Structure 1
C-alpha cells in the first residue's frame, strides 16, 4: 500500500497494490489505542485519486456515521421489511419480494453509493412487464424513504426513475364459457376447483378469498364482505351468486375463522394455494390461466350481461369508487344483487 496524502491526522488516502477497479482507499482516524496506535475506519474505495480526495474532504467537512455509510441495499431491505410486512397483506408482501428479487445486482451495493443511474439501469434491464416495473419503482421509493428517515442517505434518487411507456398488451385472459362449464363439471371430483369458481363469481383475488373470515359471510342475506389492496377494495360487499351459494355453504363452518382452510384447519397461505391447488387444477384440466384471470372473468361476465357500471366498480373494488361512498343501504345491496345475478 502506498500512502498518498494525510489530512491533519484525521484521515488518509492509500493506493492499493494490484490491478483493481477501485484502487484508492480512504480511511479516517476515529480514536487512539492506549499504546498510541490509531483506530481507523474505512470510508470506502474509489476508482481515482480525485474521487478519493473528494470523499475524504466531504467526510471531514461533515462527518457521518461510518456504520450507516456501509449499509448495503439488502440491509436496508431487511430492516425496512421487518417494519413494513406486519402491516400489509400477504399478497402485497409477495409483490415486494418479487420486486426485490428482480434487482439482484443492487443487493450488495452500499445504499449511499446507489444513484439514479443504478436504479434506472435496474428498471431498464428488467425483462418483466410494466406491472412488475411499477412494483420495483414503488419498492425503491419505500426503501429510500426509510433510508432517509434513518439518516442512512441524504437524497432519494428513486423519484428520478422513469418507467417509460407501456408497450406490452395485457395478457389477462378470462375463462371461456366452456372452461367455466368444465370447472363446474369437476367441482366435486377435483379438490379446490370450487375456490376457482367462487373467485369467478365474486371477483375476489386469491389473497382476498384466503383472508375471507366466516364472520363476514351472511348466508341468510347471501352477502360476503372482504377485500384488500386499495381503499376502494377493502371491506367491499359482494352478493353471493345463487350458483356458488352451495359451494360456500359446504365450506362454511362457524367454528373456523376462515372460509378456506388447509388440512390442519388453519388459514391457507397464498403460495401453498397457488402451487399446490391452482396450478395442478389448471394442468389437470388443460387450461392456461393465472389466478387474476378469475377476477378478470367476473368483470367480463358482468360487462357482457350489461350490468350497471357503478355496481361493477363497487363489487370489484375499483379505485375510482370513493371510500366515502361505501355506505351500503338495503337498496344498494339489492342493486348489487340484481346486477351480479345477471351472470348466468
Structure 2
C-alpha cells in the first residue's frame, strides 16, 4: 500500500505514514444535508413527509414562529428526499403572497389587447373564479382553479374561456416574478358536471372526529364536511357570519345562489363551532396557530398531514399531467353532498345548502355507491 498523502510505500495494514505521519484509515461521517435544505420524516401511517423552513414570523404575543412548506404522502424516504428541492421558496412565491387572484386580474385586464367581445368573455369568466378572488396567488393550487371550473353552471364554451383566462393571467404573472408555473395549462375543460369527484370517506371523517383537537386542524376538516363550504369559503368565515341563535352561518362566494347563503350547523359539529367561536366577537372562525386567518396553502398542508396522522391512505395520482392526492380539501364538499343523499328533504332545500340552483350540480357533488343503488333496486 502507499500513503494516501505523500504516496510513500508502506507495509500493509499501516495506520500512519512513517514519512509524513498522515493517518491512513479515515472513517468519513455520512454527508448530511445543509442548513435550510429541509428534512423528511416518517409518519404513523408509514408514509413520508418532506418539510422545509421558508421563513419566520412574529406573532401578536411577540413569540417567533417558523413558516414551513411541506408535502406528505410519499411511499418511500427516497421519494420525499427527491421532492425537497421543490419546496424551496422563490422570490416569485414571496411576491405572490402580496397579490390576490382578483388583483392579478385587475392588473392584467388593462394590458390585454383584444376585441370588446373577447374582453366581455373574460369579464364573464372571472366571475366564476369568485371563490378565489381574495386568495393570495401563492396559496392557489390547480385543484382550487379546477373546482371553480367544475362548478361553472354555464356551458363548455364558458369553461374554455375560464381556462384561457387563467392561462393569460399566469403568462402575465410569470415574467413579473409573481408565479413560476402556468397552472392554466393543467386545467381540464371536460364536461363540467360529468367530471368524477371523490368524497372523503366517512371512516376518515369519523376518525378525525374521534381524534378531536389532538390532530392539528382535524376538527376544521370535520366541520367542512358537515357545512359543505368550499375551502376558500370556509376560511373566509368570520365571527360576524355566525348566528348563535339560529345556529347557522351566512357565507359563500360562487354564484347568486351561493353568495350569502344560510348554512345551518349539524349537531355533530356544533360543539366544534362553539369551541372555535368561544365568546369572540370578531375575527376569523377558523384561525391559524398564530390566531390569524388560515391560508389556503396552510389548510391544504394541514389536511394531508391530518389524514396521515390517522393512518388514512391518500395516494398520489396523475391527472392531466399533474400529480396530486386522491383526496383534497375539496373532497369535503363532496362528502357533504353525499351525506345529503340519505336525508329525506326536498332537493330545493339541499340546493340552498350547497349553493346551487341546478339539481344536476347537486348530483355532480354526490358520490354514487353500490349500497345506494342497491337500496333503490331492492325497492322496485
Q: Larger RCO: Structure 1 or Structure 2 (Cα < 8 Å, ≥ 6 residues apart)?
A: 2
The structure having more radius of gyration, on CA atoms, is 1
